[in-house]
Amino acid sequence: MLKKIALLLLLIAPMSVFAQKFAHFKSMDIIPVMPEYAKAQTDIQALQKQYEDEIKRASDEFNKKFAEYQQEQKTLPQNIQERRQKELQELSDKGMQFQQDAQQQLQKAYADMMEPIYKKLEDAVKSIGTTGGYTYIFDLNRTDIPYVNETMSKDVTNDIKTKLGISLTAVPATAPAATPAQ
């Protein structure tokens, strides 16, 4: 009896492997055509412009003070020269620190704006997986997946687009960036 059960399990096990359903999709065919992505790109570009404008203003101020210092340098007493040099160095340091802070803030803002987009995509993938009865759905744009045989799995990219209410002919305005432009 035990041998019959073991034999039955051995016969059924390979069948259950073949009964599994696998699918794949390409997130970079979906994310750029999501309306939320276009808004996030517009918002991050506006924020980036604000930072660039402030950096330019600070740079112009530094350049103006440096030019004034160069013109007056030969006529200034040593202690005033040293004080002005120190002021210029402090302005330069503040400008570089602001640029670093601005880049970090842009990266954080980008991550914050993209998080709900990734969540919405993930929810759609889970829904397609549940309704389609898939064992796995792989994102072919992920670099940590070593190999997917696309002929042995179904491409559900269009199914996910449909689930998200995206036109199947939608074309992205720009390619998605991993981080905001530097």
Thinking of the domain 20-163, which architecture would CATH place it in?
2-Layer Sandwich (3.30)
Identity of residue 100 = Q
As a whole number, the mean pLDDT across the chain is 85
Any idea which of 7-16, 107-116, 140-149 has the lowest mean pLDDT? 7-16
Domain extent listing, the chain:
20-163
Whether the pLDDT of residue 142 is over 60: the answer is yes
CA of 54: how far to CAs of 44, 50, 106, in Å?
Answer: 15, 6, 14
> Which ranges constitute the DSSP H helices of the chain?
2-18, 35-72, 78-132, 157-163
Predicted confidence at residue 1, as pLDDT, reads: 62
pTM summary value: 0.71
Rounded CA separation 79/69 (Å): 13
> For residue 10, with 0-12 CB atoms within 10 Å meaning exposed, 13-18 middle and 19 or more buried, which class applies?
exposed
